[in-house]
């Protein structure tokens, strides 16, 4: 008979597929595997040992291919929820995917466990200028270790036909509270084809922006998931193109 601590030590080294099978061994094993502490323990062990790594690729907009890092020839078709609609990936972090369908429904999905959660809808509360000619929406998804929370950022900007001012709104979704809330708007002009921020060092990067309506000097901006503030990134102009080439 193994102690519970030793059992947990053994279980944390197993794959997610095996853990899902072993949940039916007993009620104790089921509750232990579903426990948030064990989930963090298993994730930390996987990152340190470089196990359970795979590449998720979208296929035809309706389903995905999972490609194993250890054997690139090993692929598996995985079907996300809401498969009746084309789906885009807004971001990924720690095995979770943030997805959006053509009806603007956003949900989080774990391809390993096949579990998903639809995010509550949130209205656009700012008023667009009369006769606006363009509206752009940008997203970012990541994990904040300070609050131990997964967060999704949504930024929207509208431009008027004869209005140099940008009309904008920024909101953030918290998985822990399961709600959206408005945050301080961003005082810059988004002008970059990439719609999704990239997670690095607990912050979402890199949107190309301009500080005025005239696109004179392009800059990079990031969003700190801990402080929930936008900040400009100090990079020499000669490195901007290289940075975007690398991120693309």
The answer to whether the CB of 136 falls within 8 A of the CB of 168 is: no
> Does position 136 have pLDDT exceeding 90, yes or no?
no
**What pLDDT, on the 0 to 100 scale, is given for residue 244?**
44
Can you list the pairs that 76-80 forms with residues at least 24 positions away whose Cβ atoms lie under 8 Å? 78/111, 80/109, 80/111, 80/116
- The whole-angstrom separation of Cα 92 and Cα 104 is 18
Tell me the pLDDT tens digit for each residue of 5-41.
899 999 988 888 889 899 999 999 999 998 888 888 8
Supply the angle between the helices 36-49 and 27-34 in degrees, to the nearest 10.
70
Give the dihedral sign, CA 208/213/217/222: negative
Query: What number of helices (H) and strands (E) belong to the chain?
Result: 5, 16
**What pLDDT, on the 0 to 100 scale, is given for residue 247?**
44
Q: What percent of the chain has pLDDT over 90?
A: 17
94 DSSP 8-state letter: T
Pairing of strands 219-224, 229-233: antiparallel
- The whole-angstrom separation of Cα 65 and Cα 74 is 10
Mean pLDDT computed over 219-231: 83
Tell me the pLDDT tens digit for each residue of 57-116.
777 767 788 887 766 667 778 888 776 778 888 888 888 899 998 888 999 998 888 888
Determine the 3-state secondary structure of 84 from DSSP. coil
The answer to whether the CB of 219 falls within 8 A of the CB of 208 is: yes
The answer to whether the CB of 18 falls within 8 A of the CB of 10 is: no
Pairing of strands 75-78, 63-68: antiparallel
User: Greater confidence, 242 or 195?
Assistant: 195
Band of residue 204 on the pLDDT scale cut at 50, 70, 90:
confident
Mean pLDDT, rounded, of the chain:
78
Lookup: tokens for 39: 């989930």
Helical H segments across the chain, by residue range: 4-11, 16-22, 27-34, 36-49, 240-247
Lookup: tokens for 169: 């709104």
Mean pLDDT computed over 178-195: 76
Q: Residue 43 burial (CB < 10 Å; 0-12/13-18/19+)?
A: middle
**What pLDDT, on the 0 to 100 scale, is given for residue 211?**
62
User: How many CA atoms lie within 13 Å of 103's alpha carbon, on the beta-carbon side?
Assistant: 9
**What pLDDT, on the 0 to 100 scale, is given for residue 130?**
59
């Amino acid at each position: 008979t193994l102690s519970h601590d030793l059992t947990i030590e053994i279980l944390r080294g197993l794959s997610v597929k095996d853990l899902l099978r072993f949940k039916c061994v007993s009620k104790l094993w089921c509750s232990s595997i579903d426990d948030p502490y064990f989930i963090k323990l298993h994730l930390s062990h996987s990152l340190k040992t470089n196990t359970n790594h795979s590449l998720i690729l979208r296929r035809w907009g309706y389903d995905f291919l999972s490609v194993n890092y250890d054997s690139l020839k090993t692929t598996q078709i995985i079907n996300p929820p809401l498969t009746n609609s084309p789906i885009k990936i807004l971001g990924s972090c720690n095995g979770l995917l943030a997805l959006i369908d053509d009806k603007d429904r956003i949900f989080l999905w774990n391809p390993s466990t096949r579990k998903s959660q639809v995010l509550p809808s949130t209205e656009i509360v700012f008023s667009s200028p009369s006769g606006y000619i363009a509206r752009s929406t940008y997203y970012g998804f990541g994990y904040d270790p300070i609050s131990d929370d997964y967060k999704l950022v949504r930024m929207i900007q509208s431009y008027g036909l004869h209005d140099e001012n940008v009309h904008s709104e920024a909101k953030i979704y918290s998985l822990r509270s399961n709600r959206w809330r408005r945050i301080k708007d961003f005082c810059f002009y988004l002008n970059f084809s990439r719609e999704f921020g990239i997670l690095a060092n607990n912050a979402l990067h890199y949107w190309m922006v301009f500080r005025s309506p005239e696109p004179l000097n392009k800059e990079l901006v990031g969003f700190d998931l801990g402080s929930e503030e936008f900040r400009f990134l100090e990079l020499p102009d000669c490195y901007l193109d290289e940075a975007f080439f690398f991120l693309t």
